[in-house]
Amino acid sequence: MARFIKSRRKSHGAMPGSLIFIGNQKMESPDIRLMVYSRENVEEKHIESVDEIPEAIPEGAVMWVNVYGLQDTELVAKLGERFAIPPLELEDILNTDQRPKVAENEKNLTFFLRMLEYREEIEQVTGDQVSMVLCENTVITFQEKPAHYFEPVRERIRNNRGRIRYAGSDYLAYVLIDTLVDGYIHSIESLGTYMEAMEKEVLHNSQKSTLEKIYRLKTNVGFIRKAVFPLKEMMLFLNKTESKLIQRKTFTFLKDLNDLTTQTLEAVEIYHNMANDYLNIYHSNVANRTNEVMKVLTIFASIFIPLTFIAGVYGTNFDYLPELHFRYSYFVMLGLMLIIAVAMLYYFWRKKWL
């Protein structure tokens, strides 16, 4: 399956809103994790079905439903019915190649993002689809597989660090998005460190292995750009939305998240340009190396052209060739050829062609 776009053969010709899983199945069966927290306490457990999700939660509490695995379309449909998620948004949740965006309706906000991680062992940036539905006092997250990137948020909730247990579901959604953006920055930083360490190799090496590394860098940067560039649209929407699901005091944090997103985009653009510069430098090195070889060959050819001419003239088969019977003609010819060669080498040296 292509890295930059997932196959849509299953959904070809299907009606809009059809629940068809698009992507690679990364779990045998889905797993649902439930967390309900308030200022006073935290309740956390694994549940088997949507029916185990509480119909109501205590006043002032926030419920976080985390679904791992997207291949069970029935489960997603039940969650959609339970939390009034529109069919078109459910369809996008099941599409693991969905472009990052935010969808708004009367009862919820749905965010589509990606989790990025740079894996040094394979020198590749990998990504998983993350969908997030913000409802009143509830946040539902959909992930392709269990991952560690939301664990710091859970630890903050368990240990009552910061203001997360004193704020509403909109603040939880902000924290989760902020965590993903932090992951983008970490991935870009890891890739940037590797890229900057290649500078000397790119400047002084024109081997095929260097070209392969540059190509991998360009591919990784392109993969990050695809996930990060739409974030700016999301941030602009969130900072201007009039949705009742986002409290006024949360906008301060969203502005800060917008600044962080801008910083991320700038870093991606810098490394994208750097990867292009590396490729241009590589091709320039190859061209310069070829030019150096051609220059040396041309200099030697230029030296031997007059020598070949002299040898050709005195190698002709005429009986009355001048100096043919002179006793020292051979040595005179060799001396003349040597003088010409030395004179030409001196001329090339004065011209700084050597």
Instruction: Name the token pair of 196.
Output: 């900057």
Number of domains in the chain: 2
Per residue in 275-330, pLDDT (tens digit) is 899 888 888 888 888 888 888 888 888 888 888 888 888 788 777 777 777 788 88
* CA distance linking residue 68 with residue 146, whole number of Å: 6
Q: What is the CATH number of the domain that holds 346?
A: 1.20.58.340
Residues 22-42 have a mean pLDDT of 87
Residue 20 belongs to a domain: no
Q: In the chain, at which residue ranges do the beta strands (DSSP E only) sit?
A: 31-37, 42-47, 62-68, 101-104, 109-119, 124-135, 138-143
Q: Which domain holds residue 297?
A: 293-350
Q: What is the pLDDT of residue 8?
A: 62
pLDDT of the residue at 173: 94
Instruction: Please name which of 147, 263, 125, 127 lies closest in space to residue 194, comparing C-alpha atoms.
Output: 125
Structure tokens at 271: 């490394």
Looking at the structure, do residues 300 and 231 belong to the same domain, yes or no? no
Average pLDDT, the chain: 86
Same domain, 310 and 222: no
Determine contact, residues 102/88, Cβ cutoff 8 Å: no
User: What integer pLDDT is reported at residue 14 of this predicted model?
Assistant: 62
Q: Does 8 map to a domain?
A: no
175-216 per-position pLDDT tens digit: 999 999 998 888 888 888 888 888 888 888 777 888 888 888
pLDDT at 112: 93
For residues 20 and 8, what is the distance between their CA atoms, to the nearest angstrom?
9
334: amino acid identity, one letter: L
Per-residue confidence (pLDDT) for residue 61, from 0 to 100 = 93
What CATH number is associated with residue 222? Answer: 3.30.460.20
Please indicate, yes or no, if residue 280 is contained in any of the structural domains.
Answer: yes
| pLDDT at 17 (0 to 100) | 62
Q: Is residue 265 part of a domain?
A: yes
pLDDT exceeds 80 at position 21: no
Mean pLDDT of 37-66: 91
pLDDT of residue 324: 74
Give the tens place of pLDDT for each residue, 124-174. 888 888 999 999 899 999 998 888 889 999 999 999 998 899 999 999 999
Q: Does residue 119 lie within any of the structural domains? A: yes
